[in-house]
Amino acid sequence: MKAIVLRAPGEAALEQVPEAKTMGDHDILLHVRRIGLCGSDLNSYRGRNPLVTYPRILGHEIAATVAALNPLHPEWPEGTDVTGSPYTNCGQCASCRRGRSNACQFNQTFGVQRDGALAEFIAVPADRLYRASLTLKELCLVEPLTVGFHAAARGRVASGDTVAVIGCGGVGLGAVAGAAFRGGAVIGIDVDDSKLATARKAGAAHTINTTTADLHTQLSQLTGARGPDVIVEAIGLPQTFRAAVEEVAFTGRVVYIGYAKQEVAYETRLFVQKELDILGSRNAQPEDFRDVIRMLEEHRFPVDDAITHVVPMDEAPAILAAWDRDPAHFGKIMIEVS
């Protein structure tokens, strides 16, 4: 079968690889239809993800069709359109034992620690699959949106909460939509007006462009000087990591999704004085997948604004190279596999 193989950093190619096979009794063979790319794929392409070894098949945002019935799983008949969770969980680590397998210590994500889904066929365990009344492009958007939905869940966002999301890129947009889906009044924050326009369509009641407005002044005005009840950081910069703690309300919740690439220095007094809940958020849980599917089925997300490029599989190497040269020019890229 054909697959997009990353031979080494910066070297992606369409290649023939051995046909995918079901390994476990509970695997379902899928015919891959569309794959979305996100910032972590760009990182892998650039050789900046220490968890990736080469050669590696990319791809973890999946829209696919069941290719063959597994007789042990009649609930997944051939021809069913599905999306899938790209994670694994060991069942033994502290996270798994606590029912938080999204943060499994030994997780292996498709396209990162193991070969991914940018291939004609993949095998996925039945309990990782989700069906929905969605188009292929919507199915392909489910996984990237779950990351932000999980952050909104970690922040226990409920109606009556004001939620500021710093960074409205691929991941932050899901947090905007997730917080709005849970009834929060959302403030989207970014440096790019086009990202903020999409954030408004995804449920942000207000937006702040921090290149033209002062963050503290704006948040004070919007929250009666108290600050947001919840702040989600979805960039990974030291200054926005700090801003979350500085701007959040007393007894508020700070949720970090962004991976900071440098050390962050804090005024830790604020953790104590404000009695903050400071939470990490990683990957997503099954209920996050179900919530995203419900939101998309209700047409509450601007699917076409979020997707900027759709290309056939043989153009994947070229678009990866173009994305590497000029990332600001790209939103969600989708590869049509078949």
Ligand X SMILES: NC(=O)c1ccc[n+]([C@@H]2O[C@H](COP(=O)([O-])OP(=O)(O)OC[C@H]3O[C@@H](n4cnc5c(N)ncnc54)[C@H](O)[C@@H]3O)[C@@H](O)[C@H]2O)c1
The contact set with Zn ion (CB under 5 A) reads 38, 61, 89-90, 93, 96, 104, 144
48 vs 294, which CB is nearer to ligand X? 48
How far apart CA 128 and CA 219 sit, in angstroms, is 40
Nearest approach in angstroms of CB 235 to ligand X is 4
Q: Which does 281 bind (CB under 5 to 8 A by kind): Zn ion, ligand X, none?
A: ligand X
Residue 93 contact among ligand X, Zn ion, none, beta carbon within 5 to 8 Å by kind:
Zn ion
When CB distances are held under 5 to 8 angstroms depending on the partner's kind, the choice from ligand X, Zn ion, none that residue 102 binds is: none
Of these partners, ligand X, Zn ion, none, which one is at the site of residue 189 (CB under 5 to 8 Å by kind)? ligand X
H helix runs in the chain, sequence order: 39-45, 94-97, 136-154, 170-181, 193-201, 215-222, 238-247, 269-273, 286-297, 303-306, 316-325
Residues 6+ apart with CB under 8 A from 20: 1, 29, 119, 120, 121, 122, 123
317 cis-preceded (ω within 30 degrees of 0): no
Tell the smallest beta-carbon distance from residue 140 to ligand X (Å): 15
CB of 61 to Zn ion, least distance (A): 5
Least Å from the CB of residue 120 to ligand X: 26
Select from ligand X, Zn ion, none the partner in contact with residue 171, using the beta carbon and a kind-dependent cut-off of 5 to 8 Å: ligand X
Nearest partner of 85 among 98, 101, 70, judged by Cα: 101
C-beta of 192 vs 305, nearer to ligand X: 192
Contacting positions for ligand X (CB under 6 A): 38-40, 147, 166-172, 189-192, 195, 210, 234-237, 240, 257-259, 281-283
- 190 sits in which H/E element: strand 185-190
CA 249 – CA 231 distance, rounded (Å): 9
- Strands 277-280 and 307-312 come out as unpaired
